[in-house]
Structure 1
Amino acid sequence: QVDLQFLDEVISGGADPNCSDRYGQTVLHEVSRAWSVDVMRFFLDRGSDPLGSDQFGVTALHVASALDYEDMVQFLLDREVSADPSAQTFLDQQTPLHYAAKNDAVRSIKLLLRAGANIGCTDYKQRTPLQLAASMGDQRSEAAQVLLELGANAGVKDSDGQLCISALIGRMSHVAQEAIRQFHVKDRVTRQEYFYLNLLEPEEAGTPGDPSGRRASPSVRLQVVVLEGKLDLIMNPVFLKLIEIKWKLYGRLGAWLLLVLNFLLNVCWTTVAISMSACQDSPDRYTFPQDWWRVLLVVLALLLTLEEVFREIQDIVLSRRKLHLRRGWMERRFQDDLRCSHPMWPQERQYLLNQTRRIQRMRGNYSRVPALRNIFDWLVYSLLTASFCAHLADVLQPSILLHTLSLRLFSISIIFLWLRLMKHVRAFRLMGPFIVMLGNIVGDVMRFLFLYAEIFIPYACSFWIIFGGTPSVPSMQSVSGLLYSLYRITLVDEYEYAAMVTVDNIMAPLLCGTFLAASSILCVNLLIALLSDTFQRVHDNSQANAVMQQAAVILQVGDSMPRLHRFYDNQYISKHCSPLGEACDNLSMSSCYHHEFGHVTGQVRVGIRH
């Protein structure tokens, strides 16, 4: 309760209704937080300035808008009060609409826009209210959604080069779906559809060596979608068209080059390994001159392997460089905002500090790629290195032991080498879902192996205690033989049950029966259920998974094969896709109209009036 009579006596006694605290905030700033509209009217009637701001330029309308105090915002915007909806703060130059957007004050946003606030107004970093809401994360998604519905532009870029759509894609996918529609419009008159891909992939501002550090974020929109695995966004018509254009420009050529080079690598190492096994009875590992082709194959295989390793190292270095640039870019942004933060809004400062600490936990693109894929690559390179070193030692100093070791290593390496080829066929949409399915199956198999080990290890110990090392059960005389016998029991294969009964007719049926039930019936059927579930999940999103894999290869080609840039125009999208027009037969009543059609309609109406 507020004693208005007492306040009236105080003001009548000479108190200044516009007096302020150490931050320059007047009583109106406090009233606009939570007090009633009647209290605000009371102070305004006694001379308080509704346009007055504190030392940071924050007005009462800023405060009420940020807190989504609907009645107060409406009162301040009335003609009698006439608070300025375009008033800007001094440091960050933000309007009440900015304050409402970054605090998810949906009702205030609608009132401010109804009162004439500019939905495209910008702050000191040229950020619109929509950009500010998007940068604050998913907790501001409702404000971003409302701003989009009321006509906010998602294709604008701030002074740091950050696109509004980038923040939406990274932080609020469901809102980004709505925003991307602005880049895809249809004209029902000409039956054309237009893709504004230049707004989705604009030219980056600045250069890496720019001393000011004011350059665009290293992450591009397609990269964010792929790294975050956003299957819903990848199937948007705009992204599908962007992927199609990039695939035709350089993706297809790069994917085929990678596939052919790796296929050639596999063939070379396979031929080398087979030729070694064919000559294992010869005391000389190479006989010249007839074995010149074998030496040539080894050299070619080594060169191709070194080229693959170099590309991997190049990806790591590029990923770290991009991470360093992005961290510096984000730190500068947050530090700039921290300098503009208001001491009366500590929660905003705390949010910025938390985001600054979060930057240090960011990972590069290379480490964000599924870890199994990178580990598998380096496993193959390590096996090939070990195989070649063993073979080289055998050539320099022939011995049966080294030759046998090199053959064993090569036999294992060849298996993994050919499995690795699947990584390079995922770009082709017929194979994409299949590769994703295999990747998910690996996780299911690892979970199954953990459960199987929980059962296998204690049973192996029990079988060894009863039957291990006895000549009565030949298959279990050694540890390796016993382990293999248990594996055969899991597969319901033949095993020496009769021999085990002769050793212990009580424990034999007990151990064999329970192990068969636990390993074969329980574990194997559980694995089948896991694989079926994985297949269903991938199959339900088969097209999206195929497109996602193709997009991932396009990004890989763009980063690891920069020489391909010579074969296409880097400015193709900005020159030919602003917009890209295509014939469209599927036009629904809800389709958007092309802006030119809107202009024509307006001209016709003006002509009719005249």
Structure 2
Amino acid sequence: MEIENSHAYFIGDIGSWSERTEVHKAAYLGQVSQLQHLIQSGASVNVVAVDSITPLHEACVRGQAQCVRLLLEAGAQVDARNVDGSTPLCEASSAGSLECVKILLDHGAKANPALTSRTASPLHEACMGGNSDCVKLLVATGASLEAYDLYYGTPLHVACVNKKTDCVKVLLNAGAKVNSARFHETPLHHAAKNMQLEMIETLVVFGANIHARDQQDRKPVDYTTPGSPSATCLKFYETTPMSLQQLSRLAVRKRLGTSALKVIGQLDIPKLIISFLCYQ
């Protein structure tokens, strides 16, 4: 069993085994007793490998919640950055470990660490992996919906590029800007390229501009296969005006922005209207 675990540890790592300490190894493999023994023996919980990966990074990559808690309680730096600028919260969000994300946030991890040319935010990472529960928690903690990654754009762009419809819904309902653009390319362009019918419908209902043109002067429908469900859907929206009801909902949501869900729930109006405004 130990051989199998050690082999798993090698896969996808940067550098070789010798570059990591026993603390790194125990954290990665979830060996709680061993990690506790090492800490009690005076081993540093903030020791870094050649690639600046800390034991806390290692534990988060594998979603080893017990090790994450143990390391933090022993003084591990919650926002340590590896060579790519990623924090443990980025790693936990990417891994989809809701428990690790909760523990890190409870210990003061920044939901919005400063981005670099090589770094995505924890919210970007959660969207990339389609981890909608982590997305919900990060958004509730104040993660920026418009954090901008140089490669993809906003978290909404990332969710659309990676075909993560559940994450798209969470972001939009939280108030993410549906028509944010990277080089004139909107989330709807990505949804159309990926032929994601449900995602396309969701984006349009939240106010996506079906006529938006990217740097190639192409509309979302231009990226679909003629006659496909996605193309038919976009063609329908291009030729059918929005209802007054839908226009009113978009106007209210735009006015309220990211506070929409909280404010709408407090309005003294029929529950049916509240449900409509909240896309329930």
TM-score, normalised by the number of residues in structure 2: 0.70
Aligned residue among 77, 93, 101 for 2:105:
77
Secondary structure of the residue aligned to 1:55 is coil
Per-residue deviation, residues 376-430 of structure 1 (Å, max 9, x unmatched)? xxxxxxxxxxxxxxxxxxxxxxxxxxxxxxxxxxxxxxxxxxxxxxxxxxxxxxx
Distance 1:597 1:47 in 2: 43
Secondary structure of the residue aligned to 2:249 is coil
Match of 1:169 in 2: 192
Secondary structure of the residue aligned to 2:47 is coil
1:149 aligns with 2:173: yes
Distance 1:34 1:596 in 2: 38
Distance 2:250 2:158 in 1: 28
Q: Which runs of 5+ in 2 are unaligned?
A: 1-29, 257-262, 267-280
Aligned residue among 194, 201, 204 for 2:211:
201
Distance 1:35 1:89 in 2: 23
Distance 2:249 2:32 in 1: 56
1:109 aligns with 2:108: no
Secondary structure of the residue aligned to 1:104 is coil
Distance 1:123 1:593 in 2: 27
Q: Which has the higher contact order (CA 8 A, sep 6+)?
A: 1
Secondary structure of the residue aligned to 2:176 is coil
Q: Provide the aligned length of Structure 1 versus Structure 2.
A: 226
Q: Which runs of 5+ in 1 are unaligned?
A: 185-198, 205-215, 243-581, 606-610
Match of 1:592 in 2: 249
Give the partner amino acid of 2:77. Answer: D
Distance 1:222 1:35 in 2: 40
Distance 2:254 2:186 in 1: 27
Aligned residue among 155, 160, 169 for 1:134:
160
Secondary structure of the residue aligned to 2:206 is helix
Match of 2:48 in 1: 20
Match of 2:61 in 1: 33
Match of 2:236 in 1: 235
Distance 1:17 1:597 in 2: 46
Distance 1:132 1:14, change over 3 A: same
1:169 CA displacement: 2.0
1:95-494 pair list within 5 angstroms: 95-125=121-151, 127-136=153-162, 138=163, 140-158=164-182, 160-171=183-194, 172-183=196-207, 199-202=209-212, 216-225=215-224, 227=226, 229=228, 230-236=231-237, 239-241=238-240
Secondary structure of the residue aligned to 2:175 is coil
Distance 1:29 1:11 in 2: 16
Distance 1:101 1:217, change over 3 A: farther
1:64 aligns with 2:74: no
Give the partner amino acid of 1:71. Answer: E
1:50 CA displacement: 0.7
Sequence identity (%)? 19
Give the partner amino acid of 1:151. Answer: G
Distance 1:109 1:14, change over 3 A: same
Distance 1:217 1:35, change over 3 A: same
Distance 1:173 1:217, change over 3 A: farther
Give the partner amino acid of 1:220. Answer: K
Per-residue deviation, residues 574-610 of structure 1 (Å, max 9, x unmatched)? xxxxxxxx9x6x648x9615249957xx9xx9xxxxx
Per-residue deviation, residues 334-364 of structure 1 (Å, max 9, x unmatched)? xxxxxxxxxxxxxxxxxxxxxxxxxxxxxxx
Give the partner amino acid of 2:203. Answer: A
Distance 1:155 1:596 in 2: 14
Distance 1:9 1:226 in 2: 60
1:125 CA displacement: 4.3
1:2 aligns with 2:25: no
Higher helix share: 1
Distance 2:49 2:227 in 1: 47
1:39 CA displacement: 2.0
TM-score, normalised by the number of residues in structure 1: 0.34
Distance 1:203 1:223, change over 3 A: closer
Per-residue deviation, residues 271-295 of structure 1 (Å, max 9, x unmatched)? xxxxxxxxxxxxxxxxxxxxxxxxx
Secondary structure of the residue aligned to 1:15 is coil
1:16 CA displacement: 1.8
Distance 1:598 1:16, change over 3 A: closer
Aligned residue among 103, 120, 141 for 1:94:
120
1:62 CA displacement: 0.7
Give the partner amino acid of 2:78. Answer: P
1:61 CA displacement: 0.6
1:493-532 pair list within 5 angstroms: none
Match of 1:313 in 2: none
After the TM superposition, which of the residue ranges 104-113 and 28-37 deviates more from structure 2? 28-37
1:535-574 pair list within 5 angstroms: none
Distance 1:103 1:217, change over 3 A: farther
1:226 CA displacement: 6.3
Structure ID, larger Rg: 1
Match of 2:274 in 1: none
Distance 1:228 1:17 in 2: 58
- Verify the 8 A CA contact 1:225 1:234 in the aligned structure 2: no
